[in-house]
Structure 1
Amino acid sequence: MIDDETLDRAVKAGILNAAQREALLTLATDTLDEQTAEQATAPSVDDQMRLVGGGNDIFVTVGVTLLFAGALFALRSVFVEGNTAIAVAIALGSWVVAEIVTRQKRMRLSSTLLALIFMAAALSLLIEAVMNRVNLPSDLNAFALLALRSEAGPVGLILGGGLIAVAGLYFFRFKVPILAGVAAIAATGLAFLGAVVFYHDQMVSGAVAAPLPEQLADILANALAVPLVCGLAIFLVAVWLDLRDRERQTVWSDCAFWLHVVSAPLLVHPLFILATGQEVLSGQIEPGLSASILLGLMMAVFVLVALAIDRRSLLAPTLAYFGSVGIYYLVNGAANTTGIPPFALILIAIGAMVILFGAGWQRIRGLIIRPILPTSVLDRLPPIKA
């Protein structure tokens, strides 16, 4: 920036006149103020999730909750429960309110709530469409469901495909990130349905024998491949979005946050069962030394991946699941010898890890990730601010 003395000499030399000098100073001051404001409001690269927009956003969220709760009770008093008019009215009402709250004011928390209200109303309409198409028997059991094989495809497309389409339409209009998670859950549901239909057709054709009761647990264990593959696919999409926005400043970064939230349990649960040998039906676990080692290695891998991509949203469900179930069996022996309740040790261990990662996340990233990853990889990951 040119200083005042240089500008004064330019005026004396006839290069500038006094009015031009003042105009240049004003322009330079305004530019500096804008840059300072942008730096103050720019989100930090620290697993930023722009969910709450401030006190007014929370205030409006309370208003949205009261408005639609009252509207739901009022509509139920006018229409018969289950009438499609209720869902249509709620969907239209949430869309109209979103035009103001989301499109104009960009309130984050209330916009998320409005999106979920709209999707709930849309799901209700889709379920009603399925009920009108398929006559479900009053005595619903496994054999009755198998008899509906011909309707499986249309039902899946109506529910799963319809939910994805509605979420896409709403996102195209309002850019609400949580809809990425909703679409991912719907796609996972479609994948589950496809796997069930495929297995049913294999049994009918004779390619696979019908399972005996004692084989049911093994079949369910093999079915864990579906959530594992879906979780991995969702995780890869989330990482791809993160790599497109290393500075975490666009809506796609927020979409990646919700995709990580969805993918984490889909990945953790199957891997936990594979590591510990948990019996799927009863939930019993009898881990030996090898299972405990695998469990510890899996937790370490999840921690490293979360640190590398700078996503605590991936780590939080992992710690919660492993902490509530896995660590119980790891510390149960210590509890039996010391007399301390296992639940207390679980709380201490998980609480200490959460505080450690929460308070020193970027410093831990720098200490662990910098030495183990090459510069070419680090340059593609979110910057480490330590």
Structure 2
Amino acid sequence: MIDDETLARAVRQGILEPGQRDALIALARGGAGSGPLPEDESPSLSVDDQMRLVGGGNDIFVTVGIVLLFSGALFALRAVFPPDSLAIAPVLALASWIVAEIVTRQKRMRLSSTLLALAFSGAVLSMLVTFIARSFELPQTLNAFSLLALRAQAWPIGLTLGGGMIAAAALYFLRFKVPVLAAVAAIAATGLAFLGAVVLYHDRLVSGATAAPAPEQLAEVLSNALAVPLVCGLAIFAVAVMLDLRDRERQTVWSDCAFWLHVVSAPLLVHPLFILATGQEVLSGRIEPGVTAGVLLALMMVMFVLVALAIDRRSLLAPTLAYFGSVGIYYLVNGAANSTGIPPFALILIVVGAVVILFGAGWQRIRRLIIRPILPTSVLNRLPPIKA
């Protein structure tokens, strides 16, 4: 019997259409001549589920071998070379590339390929950090005052680190097409954006264009700085949606890249919007539980749920639920928990767990019941298809 992986490869190579693949699976599960399966028994997986992170038992087996191989290699290299040697990181980066030529290029193992790409990125990051430490005169102790002395070297250091990571991720992606590298590049680009904002604010302070904040104004300054992650999150989210719209059936590597971009964009969007909506104090993290904060928090959760359902991305919804559950719900239910004697953490687990199970078990039905009636047909035709 042909397995699901072979059928998926046939779709990617254009041998089968997605509908033909589903029909073959339905025929195999229902038996010859039994006709189409009922809706509850038919393969109604969301297209988002086609972004599988594990290719099978052999993939897990090889992943364990990669962990053992590179762990042993790291200890061996540290025993041979000094800890600050420039040779360790390049050797690990080269080793991950060589192993990827077999595991990724030939075998296309998903989990192993993701781990190798992250190992390569980590080795490049270590190499760049070591190079920066040797090439630039960094202060022995890093604090707010010592960092101000690095203004002249800020952009060379930032471009070396962030630009080097983006270039390495692009080079590795061109060779192996591993989707997780989209997240690596997005994080590096976000770091460069943060650096640009800090340098701009520093220059305005030095030139006198902006007055130095008083101690009681630090919270306001930090709140204004939330515009940086918010803008970066919106930009990354926009790129992810663009990739999704180009591949509605989620059959190419670009939709897998969009998956990781949604994972990166979610916390960048959720944290600033949460603080702006609830009025959380940036320095202390306190939130005054009240009707306004509760209503705004509920509206934000509804907004993110609707967006995730529309674009068919649970990867956008999962970090959102985790953040609201760990931060927002804690503060807003803390008062109720104290009056009932139930620990706040227990209420958080109950609420978030129930929501996750609900959406996980009936994702496509929820999409069909909510998204189809509220969006026009012209918009639905551009979004990932809703399973009947």
The number of aligned residues is 356
Question: What is the match of residue 158 of structure 1?
Answer: 160
- Kindly indicate whether residue 119 of structure 2 is the aligned counterpart of residue 128 of structure 1: no
Give the secondary structure class of the aligned counterpart of 1:290: helix
Question: What is the match of residue 239 of structure 1?
Answer: 241
Q: 1:70 to 1:218 in 2, by over 3 A?
A: same
Aligned amino acid, residue 62 of structure 1: V
Contact in 2 for aligned 1:335/1:342 (Cα 8 Å): yes
Could you tell which deviates more after superposition, 287-296 or 167-176? 287-296
**TM-score (normalizing by structure 2):** 0.88
Aligned amino acid, residue 363 of structure 2: W
Q: Take 2:339 and 2:143, find their aligned partners in 1: how far apart are those partners? A: 47
Q: CA deviation at 1:336?
A: 2.7
Q: Take 1:40 and 1:68, find their aligned partners in 2: how far apart are those partners? A: 39
Q: Take 2:141 and 2:273, find their aligned partners in 1: how far apart are those partners? A: 36
Q: Take 1:31 and 1:228, find their aligned partners in 2: how far apart are those partners? A: 41
Q: Take 1:161 and 1:326, find their aligned partners in 2: how far apart are those partners? A: 35
Q: CA deviation at 1:89?
A: 0.7
Aligned amino acid, residue 194 of structure 1: G
Contact in 1 for aligned 2:270/2:320 (Cα 8 Å): yes
Please, which of 64, 69, 86 is the counterpart of residue 71 of structure 2?
Answer: 69
Give the secondary structure class of the aligned counterpart of 2:286: coil
- Kindly indicate whether residue 144 of structure 2 is the aligned counterpart of residue 142 of structure 1: yes
Q: Take 1:151 and 1:377, find their aligned partners in 2: how far apart are those partners? A: 48
Please, which of 86, 89, 95 is the counterpart of residue 88 of structure 2?
Answer: 86
Q: Take 1:162 and 1:170, find their aligned partners in 2: how far apart are those partners? A: 12
Q: CA deviation at 1:43?
A: 10
Q: Take 1:286 and 1:36, find their aligned partners in 2: how far apart are those partners? A: 53
Please, which of 348, 351, 355 is the counterpart of residue 349 of structure 1?
Answer: 351
Give the secondary structure class of the aligned counterpart of 1:103: coil
Aligned amino acid, residue 181 of structure 1: A
Contact in 2 for aligned 1:264/1:317 (Cα 8 Å): yes
- Kindly indicate whether residue 112 of structure 2 is the aligned counterpart of residue 110 of structure 1: yes
Contact in 1 for aligned 2:262/2:315 (Cα 8 Å): yes
Note the 1:197-346 alignment, pairs <5 A.
197-346=199-348
Q: 1:113 to 1:370 in 2, by over 3 A?
A: same
Q: Take 1:86 and 1:31, find their aligned partners in 2: how far apart are those partners? A: 46
Unpaired runs of 5+ in structure 1? 1-29
Question: What is the match of residue 12 of structure 2?
Answer: none
Question: What is the match of residue 8 of structure 1?
Answer: none
Q: CA deviation at 1:342?
A: 1.6
Q: Take 1:55 and 1:83, find their aligned partners in 2: how far apart are those partners? A: 37
Aligned-residue CA RMSD (Å): 2.0
Q: CA deviation at 1:250?
A: 0.6
Contact in 2 for aligned 1:115/1:179 (Cα 8 Å): yes
Q: Take 1:97 and 1:43, find their aligned partners in 2: how far apart are those partners? A: 36
Q: Take 1:179 and 1:279, find their aligned partners in 2: how far apart are those partners? A: 34
Q: Deviations over 1:281-318 (max 9, x none)?
A: 11111132111111110000000000000000000000
Q: CA deviation at 1:31?
A: 9.5
Contact in 2 for aligned 1:126/1:158 (Cα 8 Å): yes
**TM-score (normalizing by structure 1):** 0.89
Q: Deviations over 1:350-385 (max 9, x none)?
A: 110000000000000000001100000000000111
Give the secondary structure class of the aligned counterpart of 1:47: helix
Q: Take 2:246 and 2:228, find their aligned partners in 1: how far apart are those partners? A: 27
Contact in 2 for aligned 1:43/1:248 (Cα 8 Å): no
Q: CA deviation at 1:334?
A: 2.6
Question: What is the match of residue 385 of structure 1?
Answer: 387
Q: Take 1:134 and 1:211, find their aligned partners in 2: how far apart are those partners? A: 30
Give the secondary structure class of the aligned counterpart of 1:104: coil
Question: What is the match of residue 25 of structure 1?
Answer: none
- Kindly indicate whether residue 47 of structure 2 is the aligned counterpart of residue 46 of structure 1: yes
Contact in 2 for aligned 1:46/1:362 (Cα 8 Å): no
Give the secondary structure class of the aligned counterpart of 2:84: coil
Q: Take 1:125 and 1:36, find their aligned partners in 2: how far apart are those partners? A: 45
Aligned amino acid, residue 124 of structure 1: S
Q: 1:69 to 1:31 in 2, by over 3 A?
A: closer
Contact in 2 for aligned 1:53/1:107 (Cα 8 Å): yes
Question: What is the match of residue 9 of structure 1?
Answer: none
Q: Take 2:228 and 2:187, find their aligned partners in 1: how far apart are those partners? A: 13
Aligned amino acid, residue 319 of structure 1: L
Contact in 1 for aligned 2:46/2:363 (Cα 8 Å): no
Larger radius of gyration: 1
Contact in 2 for aligned 1:43/1:249 (Cα 8 Å): no
Q: Take 2:141 and 2:61, find their aligned partners in 1: how far apart are those partners? A: 47
Contact in 1 for aligned 2:294/2:332 (Cα 8 Å): yes
Q: Percent identity among equivalent residues?
A: 77
Q: 1:287 to 1:333 in 2, by over 3 A?
A: closer
Q: Take 1:38 and 1:57, find their aligned partners in 2: how far apart are those partners? A: 27
Aligned amino acid, residue 308 of structure 1: A
Aligned amino acid, residue 368 of structure 1: I
Question: What is the match of residue 377 of structure 2?
Answer: 375
